[in-house]
Amino acid sequence: MKLLSTRFQIPFLCFILFSGQGVFGQQPKISSDELLKRSIAYHDPQGTWGSYAGAFTVVSTRPGKSDRTSRISMNQKNSLFRIAMELDGVRTALQMQGESCSLEYQGSSEFSEAIAEQHNLNCERAVMWRDYYSYLYGLPMKLQDPGTEIDPNVSLREFKGSEYLVLRVTYEPETGKDTWYFYFDPITYALSVYQFYHDESQNDGEYILLEGESEIKGMRLPEKRSWYTNKDEKFLGADTITDGGL
């Protein structure tokens, strides 16, 4: 695994200011399509995500809970997703191969209904994990998926003391009901923050900070993702890629 820095490069600041794409009170002269295109070129320059086949390990931390280690395996062309998790000495695995589901507890596909209920071992959960990790680690590439509605206007927004180019994204009703904002570094176009609301007028939902990068088969994926509530900035947890695997 190769870790890459996402810090702003100060020498390029003058270029940004004089190119008409300044972030200090100016309207950005870039379309939403172009911003997304440049961000995808940064994160997935070889167009790997759509055919990605490999695995990586994620350690999840939550306040007051034990860390969970997950080995995530994907083969996009074969519609395969598998997550093998270990928490407090208990090993579970959930897999989707197309629409077929398989489940394991402590390495065995034979287990009681009580065990299944206790450890959320069901096909609905397998679909949830597949959609969850495929979406979050597939960003910004997943913003090209059908059902995604991107506001054509790029906005400028300050967040935690830094300026970003921001895309507002909603989804067709059958895809999703939340409103999302994606924050991009105005120099590299790296995705740096994303935020969602169930009801923006209530300031609900969460924001996710991305820190560091892991290079996996030529892609730049976020090394660490940390969740906070929008309303009171309560820390909810973090996922950290610990190796790039295959």
Instruction: Give the pLDDT band (50/70/90) at residue 178.
Output: very high
Q: What is the mean pLDDT of the chain?
A: 90
Question: Does residue 11 carry a pLDDT above 50?
Answer: no
What pLDDT shows up at residue 196?
A: 98
What pLDDT shows up at residue 246?
A: 53
Q: Are 243 and 56 in contact (CB under 8 A)?
A: yes
pTM assigned to the model? 0.86
Look at residues 24, 45, 51 and name the one whose alpha carbon lies nearest to residue 189.
45
What pLDDT shows up at residue 88?
A: 97
Instruction: Give the pLDDT band (50/70/90) at residue 244.
Output: low
Instruction: Give the pLDDT band (50/70/90) at residue 28.
Output: confident
Question: Does residue 2 carry a pLDDT above 60?
Answer: no
Percentage of residues in the chain having pLDDT higher than 70 = 88
Question: Does residue 125 carry a pLDDT above 70?
Answer: yes
Question: Does residue 95 carry a pLDDT above 90?
Answer: yes
Question: Does residue 195 carry a pLDDT above 60?
Answer: yes
Question: Does residue 179 carry a pLDDT above 50?
Answer: yes
Reading the block at residue 46, the tokens are 């070889």
Residues 128-141 pLDDT 10s: 999 999 999 999 99
C-alpha–C-alpha distance, residues 114 and 102, integer Å: 17
Question: Does residue 151 carry a pLDDT above 80?
Answer: yes
Question: Does residue 217 carry a pLDDT above 80?
Answer: yes
Reading the block at residue 144, the tokens are 């090209």
Instruction: Give the pLDDT band (50/70/90) at residue 75.
Output: very high
Give residue limits of the domains in the chain: 2-47+139-243, 50-136
What pLDDT shows up at residue 175?
A: 86
DSSP readout, 125-152? HHHHHHHHHHHHTTTTGGGGSTTEEE-S
